Amino acid sequence: MKITAIVNVIGIILVALGTIMLTPISVALITGEYGSILPFVVACGSSVALGFLFQWYGGFSRDFDNLKRTEGMLIVTLAWLVTGCIGAIPFLFYQLGPLDAYFESISGFTTTGATILKDFAPYPKTFFFWRSLSQWLGGMGIIVLFVAILPQFAVAGRQMFFAEAPGPTEEKVTPRITHTAKALWMIYILLTLLEMVVLSLQGMPVFDAVCNSFSTMAAGGFSPNGQSIQGYNSSSITWTITLFMFLAGGNFALQYRVFFQAKFRSLINNEEFRFYLIIVVVMSLLLCSSLMLVEGDDWQTGLRESFFQIASIITTTGFASEDFGLWAIPAQTILFTMMLVGGCAGSAGGGVKVVRVLFGLKYLKREIAQVVHPKAVLPIKIDRVTVPGDIQRQILGFLLFYIALATLSSLIVTVIEHDPVVGIIGTAATIGNIGPGYGTIGPMGSFGNLSPWTKGIFIVDMVVGRLELIPFLAMLHPDFWTFKRKLARKG
């Protein structure tokens, strides 16, 4: 496949994204915020114009059927970077600098939820709608969306689909990738609409219900309320969002089987989901005990806040029902542990993923047993299926590089900011796509005061974390780019 095909794919995506960016204009018209129309007209026009320019350069080719895996990785990476640029254009009209605008846009599309905003008062509703919508678009995946809606990617979509979500396994709910993408988006849309209705019935303003539902199901964390979910001061709203965050962190393919194929035992029979449920329940009860003993909360408040914050952090949503940055060290330690886990494979959540943690524990158990029984053959099984050797190497490699990248980022940011909390917690929050951390970057804080160099590093962390390292690592190999140069010369 020639480089022109890659340029063509990016062009098609940009045209589609530009069309989607007309949506905030309707919100501006409904709310009477006519001054917010121009930013999105400019962004829409720029995206469409750039998209057609890319396609013109590529000769408007539609021969994507032989797209290779490396090309799919490059397309996915470029798509996230370019959509971040387009998504940042409206923010420039609201007095955000180019770096801050790009940070906010990347944080939205990668569903990180780290914000540079210090005060929500100066911004109109259309501004917050776009922040939440960008998260919702990125939650299921930019490429997964366009594979589902664009017929041009009926065959080529496979390489891009799995390059965007390179989990330990390539799970499909239907034989065709386009049908799988549509199925995943179907359950995603229905759960989002259901949450909107429930939150509205519980008294949340309709606009807020829409924005918070977008951010919840995307496991994103952007809220139109400056105090996040704490600002609504409602126990029922807190429990509702806890439930939908938990669903957002679960495997959507499994949920599709439950709700549309009536395979009700799919969730319970899935070992990763059972482990995910156990982690949430056990760590919530542990956190509740800490809040009751140290913070003096009653058991009802403790349970509500514990389940909410554990669900928020493990699914990498990043909502806050309290300023957990003010909690005692034991409670903060429990939450930090959840930052190192993440959601299930095939979910909107980021992080390491529950299935990799499960595999790591089983691997350690096997190695301990191997010391006692060195000649025993002890396969590692998940869902009663032996994990193939190549998948084991991929998971171990992922975990090793994840730790290496997180360590490097933490060290550099600590030196830049002279603050180990920002370095360590900020890296964990951005590479895990979680969002808020502790201290100045806590749930009621902002990333806006950080050095431009730190913001740049965190932007890289957010993108690499969202792509789960695999495309990034592939691009570090010289042969990846040698292959691309050959394609360019042939073109």
pLDDT given at position 147: 54
* Whether the predicted model's global pTM rises above the 0.75 cut: yes
Helix axes 157-164, 69-92, angle to 10 degrees: 70
Q: Three-state DSSP class for 62?
A: coil
Mean pLDDT of 295-315: 92
C-beta of residue 81 within 8 angstroms of C-beta of residue 467:
no
CA distance 56 to 44: 18
Q: Please report which confidence band the pLDDT of residue 289 belongs to, taking 50, 70 and 90 as the band edges.
A: very high
pLDDT given at position 268: 82
**Residue 483 domain boundaries:** 387-490
- Asked, for residue 470, whether it belongs to a domain, the answer is yes
3-state secondary structure 174-212: CCCHHHHHHHHHHHHHHHHHHHHHHHHHCCCCHHHHHHH
Q: Looking at 118-276, which runs of residues are DSSP E strands?
A: none
pLDDT given at position 486: 42
Q: What mean pLDDT value characterizes the chain?
A: 86
CA distance 207 to 191: 17
CA distance 119 to 348: 28
Of residues 394 and 91, more confidence is placed in 91
pLDDT digits (tens, 9 = 90+) for 142-156: 556 555 444 444 444
For tokens 């480089």, what's the residue?
3
CA distance 100 to 388: 43
pLDDT given at position 469: 80
pLDDT digits (tens, 9 = 90+) for 407-462: 999 999 999 999 999 999 999 999 999 988 888 898 888 999 999 999 999 999 99
- Asked, for residue 417, whether it belongs to a domain, the answer is yes
- Asked, for residue 276, whether it belongs to a domain, the answer is no
pLDDT given at position 134: 94
Q: Please report which confidence band the pLDDT of residue 177 belongs to, taking 50, 70 and 90 as the band edges.
A: low
The angle formed by the CA atoms of residues 93, 98 and 100, to the nearest 5 degrees, is: 95
Mean pLDDT of 331-355: 90
- Asked, for residue 437, whether it belongs to a domain, the answer is yes
- Asked, for residue 448, whether it belongs to a domain, the answer is yes
Supply 452's token pair.
């431009």
- Asked, for residue 19, whether it belongs to a domain, the answer is no
CA separation, residue 188 to residues 11, 140, 312 (Å): 26, 8, 18
Beta bridge partners of 381: 386
Q: Please report which confidence band the pLDDT of residue 87 belongs to, taking 50, 70 and 90 as the band edges.
A: very high
Secondary structure letter of residue 295 according to DSSP: I
CA distance 265 to 243: 19
pLDDT given at position 160: 47
Mean pLDDT of 346-372: 90
Lowest-confidence region among 56-60, 186-190, 253-257:
56-60
Q: Please report which confidence band the pLDDT of residue 398 belongs to, taking 50, 70 and 90 as the band edges.
A: confident
pLDDT given at position 144: 63
Structural domains in the chain (count): 1
- Asked, for residue 414, whether it belongs to a domain, the answer is yes
Mean pLDDT of 473-490: 60
Of residues 342 and 2, more confidence is placed in 342
C-beta of residue 318 within 8 angstroms of C-beta of residue 348:
no
Residue type, 490: K
Is the pLDDT assigned to residue 8 strictly greater than 90? no
pLDDT given at position 69: 72
Is the pLDDT assigned to residue 235 strictly greater than 70? yes
CA distance 46 to 351: 33
Q: Please report which confidence band the pLDDT of residue 309 belongs to, taking 50, 70 and 90 as the band edges.
A: very high
- CB crowding 360-398: b at 16 or more within 10 Å, else e: eebbeeeeeeeeeeeeeeeebebeeeebeeebbebbeeb
Is the pLDDT assigned to residue 171 strictly greater than 60? no
For tokens 């114009």, what's the residue?
49
Element holding 342 (H helix, E strand): none
- Asked, for residue 476, whether it belongs to a domain, the answer is yes
Q: Please report which confidence band the pLDDT of residue 297 belongs to, taking 50, 70 and 90 as the band edges.
A: confident
C-beta of residue 75 within 8 angstroms of C-beta of residue 467:
no
Dihedral sign (CA 254, 259, 261, 265): positive
Is the pLDDT assigned to residue 240 strictly greater than 50? yes
For tokens 């917690």, what's the residue?
425
Secondary structure letter of residue 35 according to DSSP: G
- CB crowding 73-95: b at 16 or more within 10 Å, else e: bbbbbbbbebbbbbbbbbbbbbe
Is the pLDDT assigned to residue 68 strictly greater than 80? no
